[in-house]
Structure 1
Amino acid sequence: MSVLDRSRIPPAGPPPRVTLPHIERRSLASGLTLLVVEKRELPVVDVALVTRSGAHADPPALAGRAHLAADLLDEGTETRSALQIAEEADLLGATLHARATWDDTEVGLHVLTPRLGPALELLIDVALHPAYADEEVERKRKERLAAILQEQDEPRVVASNEFARVVYGAAHPFGAPIGGTAGSVRALDRTELVRFRAARQRPRNAYMVVVGDVDADEVVRAIEPMLADWQDADVPADEVPAQGPPAPTTIHVVDRPGAPQSELRVGHSGPSRGAPDYFPLLVLNTIFGGAFTSRLNSRLREEKGFTYGAGSSFAFRRHGGPFVASSAVFTGASAEAVGIVLHEMQRIREERVSEDELERAKSYLSLGLPRRLETTADVLRIVSEQELHGLGDRYYDEYVERVRAVSAEDVLDAAQRRFDPAHAAVVVAGDHGAIAKPLEALGVGAVVRKPWPTDTDSNRTAS
């Protein structure tokens, strides 16, 4: 009889081979691509109609346009009021949502299989025939302006918004919050929202994913008549402007006198989801700040006791996105914490990660994949991701193998190409009077004070 050694963590088992269910791909008469995955364990279905136009298409002066346009989709159509939409969804036992990201706009639902037909009709009406009634636009616009005002009391939001402004600047859509600024939201009206949706909500700029207890042929027969009046047309290119050369590291302090803690953001622009070194970057970030056992969390939380948690992430959008390390630390630790983040960025560029770190990171990623495929909604997200980024229908079949293939040399190469601590944007939302001199003593770059945002100066979209 073997004795369990409780002083040692048991080794993780081998990662299971994960294969996505078969994806049935159909081209509808309208030009829409339909992706159907039959998953028959339970009598439920998840559906999403996704348009490949998101907040990346918003110029800074109209920041928040995609967000507001999506937020209004279930607030009334040409034939249904907001109340009727809510009552009908309730009677069907369906959950309906509409949302915009930086990359896309999605209208989705979850419903029992026997009620899929009327639920699809409701979803398509919401997605294709929004009323954008003046009174609803004004109500939602006021809600967003109130939310922006409330966000000025949230240091984490203030720090993240300032970080985006510093990294991307005034001319780039990513330099403004996805929900817009007070000035840009005030500039939005029904005419602009209708123009935005009408120009981009076209069959060949969209796709539909259906996952659950369904038959692909039956889905096609049900949905084709519902899309008969959906006309195709050319869609604006919505090119995202290129960034200029990165600036030397500068520390931007958004001043809140008396703040007991500081919100930290350190990073720069990063690659798109389609980057060829995506898998080395996944492993790199997991080691650096993407897991509880990461270097950042170990240094700032476990070793120093500065914070409850620290982490990092690559946004991996269609058109690139930020890499950011973040944490909230008590005021007196602000400068040392910034120094640790920059030091760890440089260290991982200079030294190969240990085999133990590498193996833990790869196991973390590999063993976590099955958890991302448990429900119909989970499978829908994976299938939609593959389609949105042009990854191919069987991309995730090789996910574990490609993670396991990443070497320490691959991680070092990715860090040297993608981490640039000498040209990092550093944002600290906290008490300038208490932290400016320690930050200057780091010697990593100039320290610039910026005022805490107020409603009077929130018209700016970037600085």
Structure 2
Amino acid sequence: MKTIKFLVFILVISGTLFSCKKNTTAEESPQEIVENKEFKVDFEKFTLDNGLQVIFHIDRSDPVVAVALTAHVGSAREKEGRTGFAHLFEHLLFLESENLGKGGLDKMSARIGGSGANGSTSQDRTNYYQTVPKDALEKMIWAEADKLGFFINTVTDPVLAKEKQVVKNEKRQSVDNRPYGHVNYVIDKNMYPADHPYSWQVIGSLEDLQNATLQDVKDFYNHWYVPNNVTLTIAGDFDPDQAKTWVHKYFDEIKRGEDIPALEKRPVVLTETKKLQYEDNFARLPQLTMTWPTVPVYHPDSYALEVLSTYLSEGKKAPFNKVLVEDKQLTPEITMFNFGSELAGQYHLIIRGFENTDLNTIDSAISEAFVKFETEGISQDDLDRIKASQETAFYNGLSSVLGKGFQLAQYEIFAGDPGFINQDVKNILAVTIDDVNRVYNQYIKGKHYVATSFVPIGQANLALKDSKLAEVVEEKIVEGAEENFDASIAADYEKTPSSFDRSTEPPYGDTPEVTVPQVWQDQFSSGIEVYGIQNDEVPLVQFSINIRGGLLLEKPDKVGVSNLLAQLMTKGTQNKTTEELENAIESLGAFINISARDESIVINGSTLSRNYNKIMALVEEMILQPRWDLKEFELIKQSVISQIQQEKASPISIASNEYAKLSYGKDHILSHNNLGTETSISAITIEDLKQYYNANIVPNVTKMHVVGDITKAMTKTSLANLNTKWQRKEVKFPALDAPKAPQQSKVYFYDVPDAKQSQLRFGYPALAATDPDYYPVQVMNYRLGGGGFASQLTQQLREGKGYTYGIRSRFSGSTIPGMFTISSGVRSNVTYESADLIKEILNNYGKNYTQEDLDITKSSLIKSNARAFETFNSKLNMLTNMSTFQYPKDYVTQRETIVNNMTVDEIKKLTGTYLDPNKMIYLVVGDAKTQLKKLEQLGFGTPVLLNEENTTVKD
């Protein structure tokens, strides 16, 4: 993706369905209405003469449309020595085309209120997608056709050089600079023969990326990016006859390419078990990963393998949880899953041990867990419970038109028919106990596998016995190693001929009517406030219960209490053990999660609407009758300490934690990581949790938000018992000093030796979300760093210089003043250059702000309101804003007025007030020995080394 581009984007069991509404009769109860709703597949497919497959899905629930172009080419179609090329090409296709011009779809997206043009590459396909207001559909069809048929002439050597740097930064950020980032590389290299197209990574190698030539780009485009290898999906609120006319107009004359034969399935069988070990610079805990070869996606056995992985690893009853987590206490959690691709599949088992845990001990426990499964097996109740969760996942996949469009293309390309959704669901629900046992014996039991032991530096003794050293290429940090380029140089070419003038952007269609969802509110006698939106597109209900407090109410010497409490509240009730509670939730096809945040404890849940009342009864039990299980409490403490230890090695986590300390000051409660520290967690007792619970978990600081297929009356009924039994208490919130911005900028450095990137966090304490200027500064920030590819920070640091994979700026206020922050990961050898360029952009932003900047901002922010309420999550976010900040029901409309009335002079005034680069915190997390000294050139004095006692700085 342009955000995580090589992530495989597979929606396992989502579909294309719509509700056939029926009239309510006097004899039907609300619950019966929910259960009697019908759903059906709805799509239209046709093929152009040039081979382009086109799929339409109509969904008129919101005035938006999603357009996705999916090419049946990924890393598996690359040549040896050009690994990562499919993904590199995905980047290039966004930059320009003959008629879109420089900036391509990104520039247009900012004007039309789109979600932001994006894409992703997997082993087997590459897609390009965006959701836009429905009046921009013709523009999107025009733009996608221009990319497919009128792109290649615009690519130049400087453009290719720049985008190589962007992709290499993405690899550094997602792989090289991350704990355990090289695990998949080691697995695939040893799982598959050298000539197997899955033996290399989608992201490729830095060397191969650097070696890519302009001729490679042209050859790749001409072979793979042809209509007969591409699927276009359009989903949302549109006129299909008109859309069909536009598709023919813009795509028909793009020439068909050579016929592309399908690749044969290539599942592998290992002839020996391979054990490999590697000392990871960023790991602080040992991790064992075992991988067995399995079957391609949609293979009949893939469904039972998924059930097997779920049963073995998830929940208290899972054999692996029983043995490794509870009995032997070797790890805080088990990760297990089956992953099918077009040609082959893999079954993964990932276990990250506690500090200094010998992975041989974990290996022995794994064998014991498998024996436990072989002895006890899986029951029908367990199978039904897992299927219920899959049913909820099925409906959750229907919450956006983009998700529906993705899945249509997925089925078309890999199953040969968008209508495969019907069979896919049947296959999921048809899995039997015999199937689960059979696939275990066929693919896992006694079969060879690849085992990787990734351990901290200096702890090779923790690796599996007889492990060989894994081959991993580590990049060296060399100043001036990257080539120079000027990506702004325009290509000189003869335009591709067309039967009509494609250079004129199509007009908008009719302006869509944006309807703000109807919100209902209520308040119970206990003090619980309830905010709801009824929406019956799918038979689901999502809810969020916000209990104010969290870190705000903790003691500085025992930080971490609220997080431990939140986790413990999911570990059973007075009437149910942890296992019984999990089974009760999962058998209803639901999930309930409780988490602690800086200012609240939040209970999130999702359920089939027919099971809503039962789920709320369980929520009530979890709130009012915690179990206070000492064994579970100790297990949670171990897990949290393990998480804290691992964060110490993650540059992104380090940057977040250190930035909070610098922003709020050591005496402010919000300067702490809400996980706590190893010392504070060790000191916390279960009595501390009880004290926090008794004092602070009360109804009069609680706000519930509910969205979905449920009425206000049903919601109120479901809360009646909780309202009666939950007792009000006064909660004393501490008076917090507002953090103050520094009077003079200072540079701070945290040393992570040999870091491949530097994490930047620049900013200062700014505004609360309730401040009158809060939304105006969001408007002001759009062109700086809040508008994605429309922002100056992205255009200059990524698109202009190739310094970073991504950069953004944001104001993050809440009920108390929050931060203004610029955040990015930049390649190590341009740390100073990146910081200096950011400083320059901040200095000039207000001075150079133009009416064109404001017009683009207004267009984007106003038109994007068509997308503002599409998903359940967006509706929940709206309700949360209303309840937390006391925004009015029409606050979205009021914000439109603010945007429309904004002037360039007002923007300039806001920048003068809120964007002073000389009064900010400049935090860098990176390799001090190569980067620290140069930062003195910023003009803010000698940088302060935050972890001087551990540093390896050299003059």
What is the TM-score when the length of structure 1 is the normalising length? 0.91
Gaps of 5+ in 1: 455-463
Match of 1:134 in 2: 630
User: For residues 247 and 67 of structure 1, do their structure 2 counterparts lie closer, same or farther at Cα, with a shift above 3 Å needed?
Assistant: farther
Contact persistence 1:353–1:408 (CA under 8 A):
yes
Determine which structure has greater relative contact order: mean sequence separation of CA pairs < 8 Å that are 6+ residues apart, divided by chain length: 1
Match of 1:221 in 2: 717
Q: Give distance in 1, aligned partners of 2:737 and 2:625.
A: 31
User: For residues 397 and 442 of structure 1, do their structure 2 counterparts lie closer, same or farther at Cα, with a shift above 3 Å needed?
Assistant: closer
Contact persistence 2:573–2:622 (CA under 8 A):
yes
2:912 equivalent to 1:416: yes
Match of 1:119 in 2: 615
Match of 1:339 in 2: 836
Task: Output one character per residue of 1:392-424: Cα deviation in whole Å (capped at 9) or x when no partner.
Answer: 233223333333332222222222222231121
Secondary structure at the aligned position of 1:228 is classed as helix
Match of 1:401 in 2: 897
Q: Give distance in 1, aligned partners of 2:822 and 2:500.
A: 39
Match of 1:294 in 2: 791
Match of 1:319 in 2: 816
Task: Output one character per residue of 1:269-319: Cα deviation in whole Å (capped at 9) or x when no partner.
Answer: 121111101222112222111122211111111111111111112112211
Task: Output one character per residue of 1:126-167: Cα deviation in whole Å (capped at 9) or x when no partner.
Answer: 233322322222211111111111112211111221111112
Q: Give distance in 2, aligned partners of 1:284 and 1:275.
A: 15
Match of 2:548 in 1: 52
Secondary structure at the aligned position of 1:110 is classed as strand
Residue identity matched to 1:178: N
Match of 1:303 among 800, 817, 822: 800
Task: Output one character per residue of 1:190-235: Cα deviation in whole Å (capped at 9) or x when no partner.
Answer: 1222222222222211122222222212322332124321111111
Contact persistence 2:527–2:701 (CA under 8 A):
no
Contact persistence 1:52–1:388 (CA under 8 A):
no
Deviation at 1:425, TM superposition (A): 0.8
Q: Give distance in 1, aligned partners of 2:665 and 2:647.
A: 20
Residue identity matched to 1:87: N
Contact persistence 2:665–2:671 (CA under 8 A):
yes
User: For residues 43 and 153 of structure 1, do their structure 2 counterparts lie closer, same or farther at Cα, with a shift above 3 Å needed?
Assistant: same
Match of 1:107 in 2: 603
User: For residues 365 and 190 of structure 1, do their structure 2 counterparts lie closer, same or farther at Cα, with a shift above 3 Å needed?
Assistant: farther
Deviation at 1:55, TM superposition (A): 2.2
Q: Give distance in 2, aligned partners of 1:356 and 1:237.
A: 46
Secondary structure at the aligned position of 1:289 is classed as helix
Match of 2:697 in 1: 201
Residue identity matched to 2:792: R
Secondary structure at the aligned position of 1:252 is classed as strand
> What does 1:255-294 correspond to in 2, within 5 Å?
255-290=751-786, 291-294=788-791
Instruction: Tell me the matched-pair count.
Output: 453
> What does 1:443-458 correspond to in 2, within 5 Å?
443-451=939-947
Secondary structure at the aligned position of 1:328 is classed as strand
Match of 2:520 among 12, 24, 41: 24
Q: Give distance in 2, aligned partners of 1:15 and 1:326.
A: 36
Q: Give distance in 2, aligned partners of 1:101 and 1:11.
A: 46
Deviation at 1:325, TM superposition (A): 0.6
Match of 2:732 in 1: 236
Is the deviation greater in 445-454 or in 200-209? 445-454
Secondary structure at the aligned position of 1:51 is classed as strand
Residue identity matched to 2:875: V
Match of 1:89 among 585, 600, 624: 585
Contact persistence 1:109–1:123 (CA under 8 A):
no
Deviation at 1:365, TM superposition (A): 2.7
Residue identity matched to 1:300: L
Residue identity matched to 1:103: E
Contact persistence 2:810–2:820 (CA under 8 A):
yes
Residue identity matched to 1:334: T
Match of 1:43 in 2: 539
Q: Give distance in 1, aligned partners of 2:647 and 2:949.
A: 10
Deviation at 1:452, TM superposition (A): 7.4
Contact persistence 2:755–2:926 (CA under 8 A):
yes
Deviation at 1:25, TM superposition (A): 1.8
User: For residues 245 and 113 of structure 1, do their structure 2 counterparts lie closer, same or farther at Cα, with a shift above 3 Å needed?
Assistant: closer
Secondary structure at the aligned position of 1:317 is classed as coil
2:871 equivalent to 1:375: yes
Contact persistence 1:46–1:210 (CA under 8 A):
yes
Secondary structure at the aligned position of 2:570 is classed as helix
Residue identity matched to 1:361: T
Q: Give distance in 2, aligned partners of 1:189 and 1:4.
A: 75
Task: Output one character per residue of 1:239-289: Cα deviation in whole Å (capped at 9) or x when no partner.
Answer: 323335624211111122333321111111121111101222112222111
Deviation at 1:453, TM superposition (A): 9.1
Deviation at 1:48, TM superposition (A): 2.1
2:566 equivalent to 1:70: yes
Residue identity matched to 1:208: M
Deviation at 1:445, TM superposition (A): 2.9
Contact persistence 1:107–1:127 (CA under 8 A):
no
Secondary structure at the aligned position of 2:770 is classed as coil
Q: Give distance in 2, aligned partners of 1:241 and 1:13.
A: 51
Contact persistence 1:47–1:211 (CA under 8 A):
yes
Q: Give distance in 2, aligned partners of 1:344 and 1:262.
A: 19
Q: Give distance in 2, aligned partners of 1:192 and 1:453.
A: 33
Contact persistence 2:532–2:879 (CA under 8 A):
no
Contact persistence 1:251–1:425 (CA under 8 A):
yes
Higher radius of gyration, 1 or 2 = 2
Contact persistence 1:148–1:181 (CA under 8 A):
yes
Contact persistence 1:268–1:425 (CA under 8 A):
yes
Contact persistence 1:210–1:380 (CA under 8 A):
yes
User: For residues 335 and 14 of structure 1, do their structure 2 counterparts lie closer, same or farther at Cα, with a shift above 3 Å needed?
Assistant: farther
Contact persistence 2:741–2:920 (CA under 8 A):
no
Task: Output one character per residue of 1:19-59: Cα deviation in whole Å (capped at 9) or x when no partner.
Answer: 33222222223222222322223322122221122223334
Secondary structure at the aligned position of 1:36 is classed as strand
Match of 1:248 in 2: 744
Deviation at 1:387, TM superposition (A): 0.5
Secondary structure at the aligned position of 1:399 is classed as helix
Q: Give distance in 1, aligned partners of 2:567 and 2:901.
A: 42
Match of 1:459 in 2: none
Contact persistence 2:751–2:925 (CA under 8 A):
yes
Deviation at 1:450, TM superposition (A): 2.4
2:930 equivalent to 1:434: yes
Match of 2:677 in 1: 181
Contact persistence 1:352–1:409 (CA under 8 A):
no
